[in-house]
Amino acid sequence: MEAVVEATDLEKRYGETTALSGASVSVEPGEVFSLIGPNGAGKTTLVRALTGTTEPDGGRARILGESPSAVDRGRLGVLPQEFSPPARLSARELLVYYAGLYDDARDPDDVLADVGLVDAGDTWYEDLSGGQQRRVCVGSALVNDPDLLFLDEPTTGIDPAGRRTVWRLIEDLADGGTTVVLTTHDMAEAERLADRVGLLADGTIVAQGTPEALVRDHGGSSRLTVETAADPDVFADLEYAVERPDRGRGRTVDDAVVVRDIDPAAIGAVVDYLEARDIGYTGLSWAEPDLEDVYLTLADVAERERTDRLERGADESDLARAGETA
Ligand SMILES: Nc1ncnc2c1ncn2[C@@H]1O[C@H](COP(=O)(O)OP(=O)(O)OP(=O)(O)O)[C@@H](O)[C@H]1O
């Protein structure tokens, strides 16, 4: 089956900044594909290159079998990260307005219901809460019942209940065959919605796969977190690896330790160990690795590689300068 989204080696530079450095991604019909990655990794730029709002400097992008700028706009839905509709139109009027841009649009009231805003339909956009505003924006990307939907951080600023409304909406769309590409910083969102996840770092996809495969390959081991100020050394006689929790980028916390690769059935033995040695603790929690662990591990590796590259670059230019003056 032909991919609905096909990006090959996309490059994009803004002056000195490289936003995309060979990003390749392929999304199958009906898939929900989530792009995750640190701030500035290039997610929005990739979405913009794929939706025809920015022209890449290199590589090739195709969506729905066409170049992004040539694709039938009636088949495409786009929610940009920054989107400011007219402030003095009500939620309903905005959806009516956007629906009017298409020949065969959905009933705006149905869209209003889908995004959970029937009660706020007559409120001016500027008087809606931030989360309600974002939901109207999500609705505006759906009015044409697109075959392919790009959502750039759709749930940012939306409260937990509203976020679930949007998640269910995306799930229903996917069940109905819509292909969805979404960017998010919410790992629970990616894990719940995405068939596949692509982690973008430094303008390139450093890992992609189903959430399960990514967790298996990069998530590390299960962990038992013990909230204690005790030094990890006091756990030396325990038959498990014990360390301070890593909060990413080399940062650790000092009021907890993590017991690695431990079966839930063995938690009792750890409690016995703590009690026998009179080691004070205020809580215990066990967790399997998840997408957040994958994210923290891979983003950390990418960041270290970037720093190394920058340092090597600085060394090389120092050498070149030294060569010039010699
Ligand atoms: N129009 C622009 N002009 C100049 N630089 C830009 C422009 N758009 C993006 N950039 C730069 O390109 C890089 C990638 O930005 P991009 O917005 O794609 O990242 P992102 O992964 O979406 O980040 P975030 O998670 O913060 O939304 C950043 O360094 C950004 O500053």
Q: Which residue CA neighbors atom 7 of ligand 1 most closely?
A: 14
- Write down the pLDDT at residue 294: 92
Q: Are residues 114 and 231 in the same domain?
A: no
Contact 146 CB / ligand 1 (< 6 Å): no
**Mean pLDDT, rounded, for 178-194:** 96
Tokens representing 267 are 């938690």
Residue closest by Cα to atom 6 of ligand 1: 14
Q: Residue 315 — pLDDT band, cuts 50, 70, 90?
A: confident
The pLDDT value given to residue 76: 96
How many CB atoms lie under 10 A from the CB of residue 17? 11
* Same-domain status, 175 and 234: no
Q: Name the domain count of the chain.
A: 2
* Ligand 1 centroid – CA 206 distance (Å): 17
Q: Tens of pLDDT along 196-218?
A: 999 999 999 999 999 999 999 99
* Bridge partner residues of 79 (DSSP): 151
SS3 call for 32: strand
Q: Of the candidates 216, 249, 278, which is a domain's last residue?
A: 216
Q: For 257-267, what is each residue's pLDDT tens digit?
A: 999 899 999 99
Kindly state if the Cβ of 40 falls inside 6 Å of ligand 1. yes
Kindly report, residue by residue over 141-182, the tens digit of the pLDDT.
Answer: 999 999 999 999 999 888 998 899 889 989 999 999 999 999
Residues 198 and 229 in one domain: no
Mean pLDDT score of the chain:
92
Read off the CATH number of the domain in which 22 is found. 3.40.50.300
Specify the residue with its C-alpha closest to ligand 1, atom 18: 42
Cα distances from 295 to residues 141, 145, 167, 240, in angstroms, run 28, 32, 21, 24
Confirm or reject: Cβ of 307 under 6 Å from ligand 1: no
Residue 102: inside a domain: yes
Same domain for 134 and 22, yes or no, is yes
- Give a yes or no: residue 302 inside a domain: no
Ligand 1, atom 17: nearest CA belongs to which residue?
Answer: 44
251 and 200 in a single domain? The answer is: no
What residues make up the domain containing 117?
A: 5-216
| Ligand 1 within 6 A of CB of 203 | no
This prediction has a pTM of 0.88
Query: Rounded distance, CA 295 to CA 185, Å?
Result: 10
| Residue 306 placed within a domain | no
Q: Are 158 and 53 in contact (CB under 8 A)?
A: no
Sign, Cα dihedral of 97, 103, 109, 110: negative
Residues 33, 148 share a domain: yes
How far does the centroid of ligand 1 lie from the alpha carbon of residue 14, in Å?
Answer: 9
For tokens 């066990």, what's the residue? 286
Residue 31 has pLDDT above 90, yes or no: yes
Global ipTM: 0.98
